[in-house]
Structure 1
């Protein structure tokens, strides 16, 4: 079959006739220069939500959190979390009230908040 008998295919490009040098890229930004970001993309670095909270000026910092969500038509929900590893949740009026009381009791019994006595303190 000769080249004249074959149909010409659109997807096959013609081969280059000789060697060519590659195109050079544009100038690179200097160190610290703005790299340019898409519009609407925040460039500020946000704090890590999983990082420990820094102490306040008085030396205290949060250890336990109680989050309560009570939308009008739905049942209320609550979560109780502590840095000691305690993580509990409740759904419904009675269970949420019980979790609030349990969270208050944990505040007094938490090993991170309760002062240690004797040899364990040393």
Structure 2
């Protein structure tokens, strides 16, 4: 039993009638791809890093946001040592800011212990 033949709709590709092996596509160059020396493996000139590392990196974050219509502030304090706190409301956000500041003085990542105190 064969299916009835339908007219081809606009935008659809024609049906494949024969099976042949696919031919490899010709390589295309991307827009703006360099030609000549750069394609042949000639090293390009590298500029120095505009922001050299000085050994510092962020350890703790304090994010404060205020809802536009309810005027209810929210805050979140996170540290890589595992300190994760959040607060909603004016009084709790103020307390979280103080706790985040106090955590900076006691954080084990900022002040690693040495010797017998570490054990």
Instruction: Determine the structure 2 residue equivalent to 1:70.
Output: 66
Match of residue 112, structure 1, among 109, 113, 116: 109
- The residue matched to 1:84 in structure 2 has which SS? coil
TM-score, normalised with respect to structure 1 = 0.56
Match of residue 60, structure 1, among 56, 59, 82: 56
Match of residue 80, structure 2, among 83, 86, 109: 83
- 1:24 CA drift (Å): 1.2
- 1:107 CA drift (Å): 0.7
Q: Provide, for residues 70-122 of structure 1, a one-character-per-residue CA deviation record: whole Å limited to 9, x for no partner.
A: 2453200101010112111111101101111110111111110124132466x
Give the Cα–Cα distance (whole angstroms) in 2 for the partners of residues 105 and 69 of structure 1: 21
- The residue matched to 1:60 in structure 2 has which SS? coil
Greater than 4 Å deviation, 4+ residue runs: none
Structure 1: tracts of 5 or more residues without a match: 1-5, 36-54
Considering only aligned residues, what root-mean-square deviation do their CA atoms show, in Å? 3.3
Tell me whether 1:10 sits opposite 2:17 in the alignment. no
- 1:8 CA drift (Å): 6.9
Match of residue 30, structure 2, among 22, 31, 34: 34
